[in-house]
Structure 1
Amino acid sequence: MEIKYTTFIEKGTRSSNQDVFKVIICPEQHKALFIVCDGMGGHAMGDVAAQTVCEAIASYWKSNLQKTDCETKIKAACRTASMAMDKRADNLNRVEMGSTLVLASIEGNNVTIAHCGDSRCYLLRGGDMVYQTKDHVGFSFGWEVVNKCFFSYRAEIAQPDIEQFELRPGDRLFLCSDGVYKAIAPEILKARLMDNKPLEEVVDVIKFLCEKNSDDNYTGILVQMD
């Protein structure tokens, strides 16, 4: 199957953008990687944290193209990202910083989806939601708290949920930061993601809704299997 995709990243109403994304396509190996990371608010250097995690995961993936996607491979990549986070924090006077992660690694007709935090991935097929990641969040004194993420010197909480699916022609994957889905009602987001339109037109509508309603950075990757 052919992989088509389009992306967007916007700072929205925020003064800076702490979202990061990465796309790697390796047609000869029939593999592709899509990543979205969101630096955690309330802590310093969220943009640095997100960039560190994103680059570490991507670097591990590119260095291990010969390995089949599996839970062991994803967890090894996450350990590498945690170590990179600690090393970066050491160089910044042991700063406390954190980031979410969501990724989709496509290998032939299969996809491995992994996430840690509240960035999401949706798998849509024929008008139905086949899968949606479950946010790693809780509440403390009325505040939403991310309870799994990449955080400096806290490798024990960087434990991703991992799922694998067989892909079919027409399937769509959508990876995004929380600034997207918190700005759009779930049934509207699902409907727009499955609109029978070119990917760029679908994304234009989602960006318009985020521009109207989001109070955060908003980033997304929309992928279609043809």
Structure 2
Amino acid sequence: MPETAPQGGGETPRAPAARLDLGAASHVGHVRSLNEDRFLVAPESGLFAVADGMGGHAAGDVASSAVVQALATIAPAASAGDLLARMKAGIATANAEIQKVALARGTVVGTTVAALLIFAPHFACLWSGDSRIYRVRAGRIVQLSRDHTEIQSLLDRGVLTPEEASAWPGRNVVTRAIGVQERPDVELDHGLLEPGDLFILCSDGLTQHVGDREILGLCTDAPDAQGACDALVSLTLARGANDNVTVVAVRYLGPPGAGPRDAAGPGASGS
């Protein structure tokens, strides 16, 4: 996993007061020869991410690596707002680097990103493209991100029904990505953490094969965050895995000193 490096400026950084249960898994799948997915698990800075190099575009792995490496250089911040600002700046830096690669190669290069910030008691999600962020809380799963895809746009406008969308030929067309435009086009959601919250970040290689209810079920049955990631990737592989698949799981157990009962939830475990 990438290591963080010091970043100057601002107030004296402090580590976010949080106990976390973490997991990650990535697989090339059964069809592609190269894994263009990249992920970040950096609890020391409170940042987590999944990036999926644009399928069919040259140097997709270069693009996804640029985003993850930019986020990996962010040091612990003094506040949630400070960390979010650094996160946005890192994505902007990666966007510029990817555009330079695209210009040099004379082709389109891009990557999705789904990024999570944990600075207890706050969390924030940033995303661009169709990599997703879910939250499992109190036995329910909610997709916090919203796909930036042609098919989601058609669904939002009522042009297609969910049944029609499942067979739509352009269902994999992404309408936003890092590196494709001069400035990164990202969306933001944020809120307050509750002990037991489980966040799932994933590339579309997972959601092409595994539904939301199945994600909830596997996460509920898993003994810990790593077990959830392993189970999700295993099911994807069993169903054909026609794309790279990557999953990162982050469970918030509570502030330091909180016991397992304070962080009760499906699959919760103490440290």
What is the TM-score when the length of structure 2 is the normalising length?
0.73
How far apart, in 2, do the equivalents of 1:67 and 1:168 lie? 18
Per the alignment, residue 211 of structure 1 pairs with 237
Q: Quote the Cα distance in structure 2 between the aligned partners of 1:3 and 1:174.
A: 13
**Which of the pair is proportionally richer in strand?**
1
Give aligned pairs, total.
Answer: 217
Match of 2:210 among 171, 184, 189: 184
Task: Quote the residue 2:134 is aligned against.
Answer: 122
SS in 2 for 1:104: strand
Report the alpha carbon displacement of residue 73 of structure 1 after superposing the two structures with TM.
4.7
Find the counterpart in structure 1 of residue 176 from structure 2.
Answer: 148
1:3 paired to 2:20 = yes
Matching residue's letter, 2:60: G
1:98 offset after TM fit, Å? 0.7
Cα distance in 2 for partners of 1:8, 1:204 equals 6
* TM alignment of 1:1-226, pairs within 5 A: 1-13=18-30, 14-26=32-44, 31-59=45-73, 61-62=74-75, 65-66=77-78, 68-69=80-81, 72-90=85-103, 92-139=104-151, 142-143=169-170, 144-152=172-180, 154-156=181-183, 158-195=184-221, 197-213=223-239, 214-226=241-253
Over residues 126-175 of structure 1, what are the superposed CA-to-partner deviations in whole Å (9 max), with x where a residue is unaligned?
111244311000059932311111134x224x311101111111110110
What amino acid is aligned across from residue 47 of structure 1 in structure 2?
D
C-alpha distance in 2 between matches for 1:7 and 1:34: 10
Question: Alpha carbons of 1:94 and 1:55: their partners in 2 closer, same or farther (altered >3 Å)?
Answer: farther
Give the match's secondary structure for 1:8.
Answer: strand
Change (3 A) 1:68 1:169: closer
Q: Distance in 2 between matches of 1:115 and 1:72?
A: 14
Distance 1:203 1:119 in 2: 15
Structure exhibiting the larger radius of gyration computed from Cα positions: 2
String of CA shifts for 1:82-102, please: whole Å, max 9, x gaps. Answer: 112123334x43442110001
* Length-normalised TM-score, structure 1: 0.86
Alpha-carbon contact 2:136-2:197 (below 8 Å) kept: yes
1:33 positional shift? 0.5
Query: What's the CA shift for 1:57?
Result: 3.0
% identical equivalent positions: 28
1:102 and 1:217 mapped to 2: Cα distance? 15
For the aligned residues, what is the CA RMSD? 2.2
